[in-house]
Amino acid sequence: MTARPLPALASNAWIGQFDQPLVSQQAGRLAGLRFAVKDNIDVAGIPTTAACPEFAFTPTAHATVVEKLLANGAALCGKTNLDQFACGLNGTRSPFGPVPNAVNPAYVSGGSSSGSAYVVASGQVDFSLGTDTAGSGRVPAGLNHIVGLKPTKGLISTHGVLPAARSADAVSIFARDVQTAWQVLLSAIGPDEQDPYSRELPLISTPLPQQFRFGVPDRLEWFGDEFAKEEFEKSIARCIRLGGTPITIDYQPLADAAELLYGSALLAERLEVLESFFQQHPEAVIEPVKTLLSPGMAMSGTEVFRAQTRLRALAQQAARMWKSIDVLLVPTAPTIYRIDEMLEAPIELNRRLGYYTNFVNLLDYAAISIPASFRRDQLPFGITLIGPTASDWQLASLALRFEQSESPGSSTPKNQLEGLPLALPHETASTATVQVAVVGAHLSGMPLNPQLTERGARLIKTTTTSSCYRLYALANTQPAKPGLIRVGDTGTPIEIEVWQMPVSQYGSFVAMIPRPLGIGQIETRDGELIQGFLCEPTGLEGARDISEFGGWRRFMASLASPTSTTALR
């Protein structure tokens, strides 16, 4: 596999794009999805530059996270541009050129994971990996109208990832929707003995209440951007409509913690790996990266421990807010700047972009940035949901509710369990599981889906049957259910979801299936045979053939359409 340099790309998003995507296997949770990785993440045989050609080296092995994604069926398309050494939040600090905003190229993309955000927002890949130390996995998401999932530190191994500040680093995920980002996280998490900061951390499995409390900072800073302020007020109102109650929180401890990242001796950790290179090749480090990191060379151990103690004290103060709130809501970024403005004042304007992000990893929180709206000037505006350690599933579930709350053609899920399988880190590779294909009321977001999630089932993939089936809306069923029948040459592909369930839970699940439905072998479009829901022919009395819709979800959506004249009999 070779990387093809792309110096002429107008977007400057790619550092190297592969002639052919790198594929490990065709099957898995991520099969069919294309992805890219930030160029501080190792891909075997491809130089890792960290946006510094003089620093480049060629690894002999993939980063652990890359290995896991390939093993789950994803196809790797190349490596993306970044702020040099992952130092920046704006996307202009690279010798390969600034990465523009995917919505309006006159504006910054956000950084440091600038290229990774751009290639997702522009539709070139389905998801990408960034890294996040101070907000690099969230700010680019907010500025490019995509999802940026920043997991709890240690959930994803950073082995094979060039450290920025090792104790605060996290691999982040960019996608265009919450579901995709979550499936990537499920494929990537797990302890790794090669990463000293990796940890086996069970996720909080208690759902957030339907009537949840969300924190709003008592001192919101917009740096004069009234458009951003307007959109955040709309986001607060949208969270209230979802069942949330806003609670004002003391933002001072969070702001003070954020200042420590670059304004204290914690900065010295940024030079753990780079110190000798800085000394030997100072000309290779671009401005303002050199100005920002150089003070760390002179900081003493005493100063570092003093800063760590200060951070611990602030963490204790900040932790009090979790007694009164379930989740913290902040703007992903308080404003957005044009590229020319950023180049004129690169340090101050960059600092402003991190106003709501810098504290998160220092305090060991989880976070997810999601698109909220478009401002009056048609630029994207994003919000970030923040929670305590291991709250990743809770945050992503609430983000899914927010995402679907005002999406055309979709309805708000009844609860956050629907459509977002919970990772079960306590399961081992030896845990016996069985795959089951569902076609109707057990689909993600449908009324009976909790019968799967309550049994620890995980969504593996969405696919279709072979063209040998027809789908019927059964008569007189509550909730409404379809019946899938194998008919041979007169059939058509029907949408199905494949779920993986512990064998220990399978018996209780099957026992709940009412006649005329039962379990049989379903053939997928790839020729696999998977146990799944089939209908007895006698159950079709009074049923309607709905095969033309291609699946139960589209049929049900047609019933909800204001112009629909279709009715269930």
Catalytic residue among 114, 116, 136, 444: 136
Q: Could you tell me how far CA 39 lies from the centroid of its own chain? A: 18
Distance CA 429, CA 42 (A): 25
Q: List b or e across 1-23, with b for residues whose CB sees 16 or more CB atoms inside 10 angstroms.
A: eebeebeebebbbbbbbbeebbe
Indicate if 68 belongs to the active site: no
In the block, tokens 């404003």 appear at 335
Please tell me whether residue 131 adopts helix, strand or coil conformation: strand
Indicate if 112 belongs to the active site: yes
In the block, tokens 């100063």 appear at 303
Nearest to 421 by CA among 182, 150, 92, 169: 182
Nearest to 13 by CA among 83, 68, 71: 83
Catalytic residue among 112, 198, 369, 466: 112
Backbone angles phi, psi at 128, to 5 degrees: -150, 165
Distance CA 339, CA 356 (A): 21
Distance CA 130, CA 137 (A): 6
Sheet holding 433-438, edge to edge: 458-464, 495-502, 433-438, 529-535, 517-523
Q: Spell out the SS3 assignment of 321-383.
A: HHHCCCEEEEECCCCCCEHHHHHHCHHHHHHHHCCCCCHHHHCCCEEEEEEEEECCCCCEEEE
Please give the structure tokens belonging to residue 217: 């900072």
Catalytic residue among 11, 38, 128, 153: 38
Distances in Å between the Cα of 532 and the Cα atoms of 33, 485, 506, 526 are 24, 11, 12, 15
In the block, tokens 């075997």 appear at 44
Distances in Å between the Cα of 337 and the Cα atoms of 109, 220, 260 are 9, 18, 24
Distance CA 397, CA 182 (A): 9
Indicate if 397 belongs to the active site: no
Distance CA 87, CA 252 (A): 25
Distance CA 145, CA 543 (A): 43
Task: Please classify residue 523 by burial: count the beta carbons closer than 10 Å to its beta carbon, then call 0-12 exposed, 13-18 middle and 19+ buried.
Answer: middle
Q: List b or e across 245-257, with b for residues whose CB sees 16 or more CB atoms inside 10 angstroms.
A: eeeebebebbbbb
Provide the annotated active-site residues.
Answer: 38, 112, 136
